Chain A
Amino acid sequence: AQKVTQAQTEISVVEKEDVTLDCVYETRDTTYYLFWYKQPPSGELVFLIRRNSFDEQNEISGRYSWNFQKSTSSFNFTITASQVVDSAVYFCALSEPYSSASKIIFGSGTRLSIRP
C-alpha cells in the first residue's frame, strides 16, 4: 500500500540557516510521482515540485533543492539560507498514476518555523 512518512513534526531554525525536510515513501509500483506542497498560514496549498520515478536527477530552484533517492525511497527537501517567509507546513505526497483517479496520498506534514 502507498504510504508517505514525514517523521519531523516540527522544525525550528534561525533565519539564514539551512534546513532539510525529510520524506520517506512506500509503494509497490515502479511508476509513481512525488510532490511537495507548501501550506502557509493562509491555508492554501501551494504546489512546489513534481517528480516522476524515472527521473532521479536532483533539482534546484533558487534556495530550494530536492534530493530524490530511489534506493532509500526518500525525497528530501532542503531550503538554503532560510527566511521568515519560509515558515509554513510542508507536505510531501505520492501518487501512482494507474491507480483510481490518480489519487494523491499526503504525508502528515512538517511545520517549519523560521525565527528572525
Chain B
Amino acid sequence: DGGITQSPKYLFRKEGQNVTLSCEQNLNHDAMYWYRQDPGQGLRLIYYSQIVNDFQKGDIAEGYSVSREKKESFPLTVTSAQKNPTAFYLCASSQRTATSTDTQYFGPGTRLTVL
C-alpha cells in the first residue's frame, strides 16, 4: 500500500538532546513537509522540500534541521536549541506540478515529549 510512515509514534527526550524523527513515503511524491501541532491549535510549517537535496525554512524553523538525500525520505532533527519541543509532529507529501497546488497527504504523526 502507498502511504507515509513516521517513526517513532512516541518519543521522549531529555533536555539538551537532539532527536531525529523519521518520515518515509512511497507515493513517489516530489514535495515533503514537516508541521508542528500544539494542543488546541492548527498546524505550523517547520520545513519543506520540493526536490531532493533542496529544502526551505517554513514559519517556525528555528531549532530544527532537515535533510533530503532521497526522494522518499525527509527526516527532521529537533535540536537542543528548540526551546519548547514538546508537540505533535506531522509529516506530509504532495506531488508537485508547475501550475497547481496538489493535495498534501499526511503521515500518522510523532508525539515528542521533553522530560
Which residues of A pack against B, CB within 8 Å? 9, 33, 35, 37, 42-47, 50, 52, 91, 95-97, 100-104, 106-109
**Chain A: interface secondary structure?**
mixed
Task: Please tell me if B111 contacts chain A, counting CB pairs below 8 Å.
Answer: yes
In this assembly, does B90 line the interface, its C-beta being within 8 Å of a C-beta of chain A? yes
A37 to B104, CA, bound (A): 10
Known: A42-B108, A103-B48. A109 touches B99 (CB 8 A): no
A-B contact count (CB 8 A): 59
B56 interface contact, C-beta 8 A: yes
A interface footprint on B97-108 (CB within 8 Å = 1, 0 otherwise): 001111111111
Interface bracket on B: 20 to 34
Query: A44 and B106 in contact (CB under 8 A), knowing A103-B45, A103-B48?
Result: yes
Q: Are B109 and A95 in contact (CB under 8 A)?
A: no
Tell me the minimal C-beta distance from A24 to chain B in angstroms. Answer: 14
A97→B42 contact, CB < 8 A: no
A66 to B53, CA, bound (A): 39
- Given contact pairs A33-B101, A106-B43, enumerate 19 new A-B contacts (beta carbons under 8 Å): A9-B40, A35-B103, A37-B106, A43-B109, A44-B107, A46-B106, A47-B103, A47-B105, A50-B103, A97-B100, A102-B31, A103-B45, A103-B58, A104-B45, A104-B101, A104-B104, A106-B42, A108-B40, A108-B41
